[in-house]
Amino acid sequence: MKKLRRKVYIAAGYNTISLGTGRKEFHPKKPRPGIEHYIKEAGQATLKLIGGSQNVDEGVVGNFMAPRFNKQANLPAFIPMIDPGLLWKPCISTEGACASGGLALIAGMKSVLAETADVALTVGFEVQNTVKAIYGADILAGAGWFQERKTGHAFFFPGKFSDRAGAYYQKIGREKARRGMARWYGNAIKNARLCPTAQEYHNTTEDPEALAFNTEPNPKAFVDNLTVFDCSKVSDAASALAILSEDGLQRCGIPKNEAVEIVGWGQVEADISIAPEDLTVLETTKRAAAEALESAGITPNDLGTIETHDCFTIAGLLATEAIGLAKPGEGADFVAQGHTDRGGKIPFNTTGGLIGWGHPTGGTGVHQAVTVWEQLTGKAGDAQVEIPADRPYALAINMGGDDKTVVAIVYKRGE
């Protein structure tokens, strides 16, 4: 099956600040922006970069749980709120837990491929700091099979990935695993400090890797095998970009070297009601990444940078194995040896990923794409890494739930 019958591009990316604990602007007891603010800020910024709303054919919104976090549904109708010129244009929303943003990208791509749109304005967002963490855990449990909620941990998803970490400890040894996880956290913080919109931008910890390694999990206060440094934070943010055909680029006055081409993708679903066969394997991620790379006609060794879904440090380690960069059980060493550092073999999550930049669940997939666009077009500022001429590709992996819905997309510098 030929997935890409015409060329598809992304351009005009924009991220709001990822607001939550860690940002100096955040105060839990003071009023904060709502979803209208985030959708407008991101959407209007992208419209400015593509020449205005008259150039847009349709809108897509990626979001996970606005009906519960914000008591708001009917999200497609927020697209016209961005600009009066978007009134009466077709819009849809996508939901696939934490992969909702990735699904929004897929939806926009498919419209361009179907030739029903040449320019799709795509916005992903989540505003989650509306409830206390323990109540938020109950809301986020909807990303898993909710029938397990009563028997699951109070902090449902940290409990799920704590179980994965525990299985990984048994497989390769606890200290080795913890060293890799600590290096992952250290990289996340160091990269986030280079990105002004990142949630951990203001983090001043002298040695975040040592802090993470020397902090022991406390099952009485949290979960068995993870600490707070192994977890992404609660975030409010939005990201937006345009998905365009070649005609769309021309309409918007965007040269190809200011855009990034989508050259392959994979979208894979697992059965939400069935537990993973092996907790140390991200099987759905593995399949989605393989499908994306195969459709692009490349191997992992052709990639210049990767954005992966590190909702927890253990997910980052397991992703290196799922992608095929490290053998099973060797992901911790691969990370600990510096291969995923910004100056390593293959820089991961160059603006901090979910742990460092933030994890506004429904917006994360779009944020990953914006980061890739910035890197491949040289617009990443202080967070810029070198993209080798012989490795002009990037991979982004957006995972929903406990490795149940996964979107993987391969990008290439526009030519």
CATH code, 88: 3.40.47.10
Residue 76: predicted pLDDT: 98
The H or E element spanning position 122 is strand 119-127
Residue 397 lies in a domain: yes
Does 317 lie in the same domain as 180? yes
Listed residue (389, 406, 386) closest to 397, CA to CA? 406
Residue 243 lies in a domain: yes
| Domain tally, the chain | 2
Q: Other CB atoms closer than 10 Å to residue 168's CB: what's the count?
A: 26
Does 374 lie in the same domain as 248? no
Residue 3 lies in a domain: no
Does 249 lie in the same domain as 284? no
Residue 186 lies in a domain: yes
Q: Is 214 exposed, middle or buried (0-12, 13-18, 19+ CB in 10 A)?
A: exposed
The CA distance from 87 to 257, in Å, is 31
Does 249 lie in the same domain as 209? no
Residue 339 lies in a domain: yes
Tokens 């179907």 belong to residue: 114
Listed residue (368, 378, 381) closest to 410, CA to CA? 368
Does 194 lie in the same domain as 95? no
Residue 297: predicted pLDDT: 96
Does 254 lie in the same domain as 219? no
Does 359 lie in the same domain as 215? yes
Residue 400: predicted pLDDT: 98
Residue 1: predicted pLDDT: 59
Structure tokens at 112: 């361009």
Structure tokens at 363: 């917006």
Does 223 lie in the same domain as 247? no
Residue 47: predicted pLDDT: 98
Residue 149: predicted pLDDT: 84
> What string of pLDDT tens digits covers the 415 residues of the chain?
567 889 999 999 999 999 999 999 999 989 999 999 999 999 999 999 999 999 999 999 999 999 999 999 999 999 999 999 999 999 999 999 999 999 999 999 999 999 999 999 999 999 999 998 888 989 999 999 998 888 877 888 999 999 999 999 999 999 999 999 999 999 999 999 999 999 999 999 999 999 999 999 999 999 999 999 999 999 999 999 999 999 999 999 999 999 999 999 999 999 999 999 999 999 999 999 999 999 999 999 999 999 999 999 999 999 999 999 999 999 999 999 999 999 999 999 999 999 999 999 999 999 999 999 999 999 999 999 999 999 999 999 999 999 999 999 999 987 7
Structural domain range at position 391: 154-232+267-409
The CA distance from 275 to 287, in Å, is 17
The CA distance from 281 to 302, in Å, is 23
pTM for the whole structure: 0.97
Residue 38: predicted pLDDT: 98
Q: From 224, 258, 292, give the residue that closes a domain.
A: 258
Structure tokens at 390: 């012989």
Residue 231: predicted pLDDT: 97
The CA distance from 87 to 102, in Å, is 25
Listed residue (237, 265, 269, 260) closest to 352, CA to CA? 237
Residue 138 lies in a domain: no
Does 310 lie in the same domain as 254? no
Strands (E), 258-366: 260-269, 303-307
Residue 348 lies in a domain: yes
Does 294 lie in the same domain as 216? yes
Cα–Cα distances (Å) from 397 to 100, 146, 236, 341, 407, in that order, read: 12, 24, 20, 18, 6
Residue 146 lies in a domain: no
Residue 151: predicted pLDDT: 81
Does 200 lie in the same domain as 340? yes
Does 194 lie in the same domain as 254? no
